[in-house]
Structure 1
């Protein structure tokens, strides 16, 4: 089997980095084509030995990209096309159908009212559903996303739950990374440090996190990510008089080897902090929370299907919060006064092992290549 992965872009993001990790574990040869933005993850994939092509798409309505993509699928003699993110799913499913190749699509970022951080419109939903029928299967990264797809009208038999996965060893706490990262960022060795990771957009509600940390004298915040709300957050930080205690790190890769000219990698960042906070209004999975748990961190989160979809007791270090500034401030103060300690990574971490996700995805591939196969070949969520 030979597969082609089509993705909208390859800048640093959750879906993009999940694709890179997945390709390290899939037991089939894979190539990648990005419709736009061959950024840092494209460089990482090439370093891993993966062939990456850039289609050079000009925008959502650049219809010339469709015949080019169809030719690419045909010339590559691929057995399967796997698409990621909205634009790539729409164009990739059509191209795969025109080329006569079965397609699988992963839905990474579907919320109740948003998709990939943008409001859902009736037109976007209609286009998604119309092209979804052209594929052989749709993969949901959580049971929560599977439920949203069913609510949209995607038949349950077409939906396969393959949770995101992590390489837990990559995030294991490292005391050397902790001290070196703090020194590099100018954070006192004995400071109480809060961390957050994600694209800086309104839906992540990082303003709540900034306000909560600013209200705690002596607490620091390391925030990894970039996006359109960055400047507004910097302005808010200055207005609250917390510029000296809040660091905006920009985009951080998951690679273990830090580049001195760039922000520290996520594993080093997680070793440097004492508690992880996710204030997102909604999530499709919540990969950063699982990574934080793998680092032995206590976690405060508002929405996280990766935890919420599991039976009780799988993530004892994770606490769900409503997301108000007052509640978060109080929860952080309690952590700060209770003393800093690392936790044993909970069962949720091993549950979301990337090797397990890869095996489940191979089941979906087999289903897509043999549509008449018995339903028993499919793996259900969290089995």
Structure 2
């Protein structure tokens, strides 16, 4: 089966970087994938292109700069016909909007995937998203990577009921690079784990990650677990604000700024607890799948697509967003009970490998493509 994967552009984002594990996983199936971007090469991110090249994935950019480009639909239709594709799978809004008329002309079924949680928009962005929703709804299958994503789009665009073809299909990642095991003492020391307990937040320093909530909760954690360290693994424009918050609370000795790391599997293994205190905007955060695959206990806020990954009480513990007291209570519970951490971590690892691996994701996609073609 030949499938054309269309995406807006090869930017540096979650949807774009997930192309590599998806295409690599397809090589073990009867699905053959070609990957094409709608936009010009100038829109491509060097890092994304390097990731795709390292995976042995050839790409092409069509050079379409706007939805109203009169050459866009004829160009895309010719591509589909010449490639003799059985299915076109469009990721992101511009790709799915242009793909609908092109696939109708080429008489090929369309699948569309949304990778974000709907949020308030203004100006032209409102109409671009609305067009994409209408195109996806007219396709054979509209996929949302979390229940939160589907619910948010339904609330915004279909408040009176879900269309029959709107489904949740979780993404997967290459879990082979993340494995359980003992902590490397050197890595643990590098990320601040010099005491009895280490809690790691693996996140960019952005407002929706909720890192200030964790910092405000930290005095309550240290009061119960003296010597515990909160390690902030990441970086970003809010670092100065976060450092000021740490200083204002007088917790400089127990909050460590570890910087950006490329050895995240080792960092997760070094942690006693992996924490994600997001307050909005999360769809299906990859870091929680990665941490789960290393067998680590996870504590995270009950928001967005996080509950799709973390089954509260089974593979991790959840708390309400914005609630520093609830965060401290959950972290203290995990730090006080090594057996609970082990039980949750083991269950999380099994779920990550069985449901959130790129192979499992590709199996779900292959079944969907086969069903659509059979019809």
Specify if TM > 0.5.
Answer: yes
For residue 164 of structure 1, report the CA deviation from its aligned partner: 2.0
Residue aligning to 1:254: none
For residue 216 of structure 1, report the CA deviation from its aligned partner: 5.4
Answer yes or no: is 1:128 the counterpart of 2:127.
no
Count of matched residue pairs: 348
For residue 360 of structure 1, report the CA deviation from its aligned partner: 1.8
Change (3 A) 1:369 1:249: farther
Residue aligning to 2:256: 246
Q: Which runs of 4+ in 1 moved over 6 A?
A: 118-121, 310-313
Answer yes or no: is 1:232 the counterpart of 2:232.
no
Change (3 A) 1:271 1:182: same
Residue aligning to 2:145: 141
1:208 to 200, 208, 213: 213
For residue 104 of structure 1, report the CA deviation from its aligned partner: 0.8
Q: Distance in 1 between matches of 2:35 and 2:46?
A: 13
Answer yes or no: is 1:295 the counterpart of 2:326.
no
Residue aligning to 1:361: 365
Measured against aligned partners, the alpha-carbon deviations of 1:314-367 in whole angstroms (never above 9, x if no partner) come to x62411101212322343344445569543234533243433322221122123
Q: Distance in 1 between matches of 2:240 and 2:68?
A: 35
Unaligned runs of 5+ in 1: 251-262, 374-383
Answer yes or no: is 1:50 the counterpart of 2:57.
yes
Q: TM-score normalized by structure 1?
A: 0.74
1:78 to 85, 95, 113: 85
Residue aligning to 1:344: 346
Q: Distance in 1 between matches of 2:358 and 2:241?
A: 39
**Residues 213 and 221, structure 1, Cα contact 8 Å, conserved in 2:** no
5 Å-filtered alignment, 1:56-75, equals 63=69, 66-67=72-73, 68-75=75-82
1:31 to 30, 34, 57: 34
Cα RMSD, aligned residues only: 3.7
Measured against aligned partners, the alpha-carbon deviations of 1:1-20 in whole angstroms (never above 9, x if no partner) come to 22221223445543333332
Q: Distance in 2 between matches of 1:95 and 1:248?
A: 48
Unaligned runs of 5+ in 2: none
For residue 40 of structure 1, report the CA deviation from its aligned partner: 2.4
For residue 105 of structure 1, report the CA deviation from its aligned partner: 1.0
Q: Distance in 1 between matches of 2:204 and 2:125?
A: 22
Q: TM-score normalized by structure 2?
A: 0.76
For residue 74 of structure 1, report the CA deviation from its aligned partner: 4.2
For residue 139 of structure 1, report the CA deviation from its aligned partner: 1.5
Change (3 A) 1:311 1:54: closer
Change (3 A) 1:11 1:187: farther
Counterpart of 2:289 in 1: which secondary structure?
A: helix
Residue aligning to 2:94: 87
2:169 to 156, 162, 167: 162
Change (3 A) 1:208 1:134: same
Residue aligning to 2:14: 14
Q: Distance in 2 between matches of 1:234 and 1:119?
A: 32
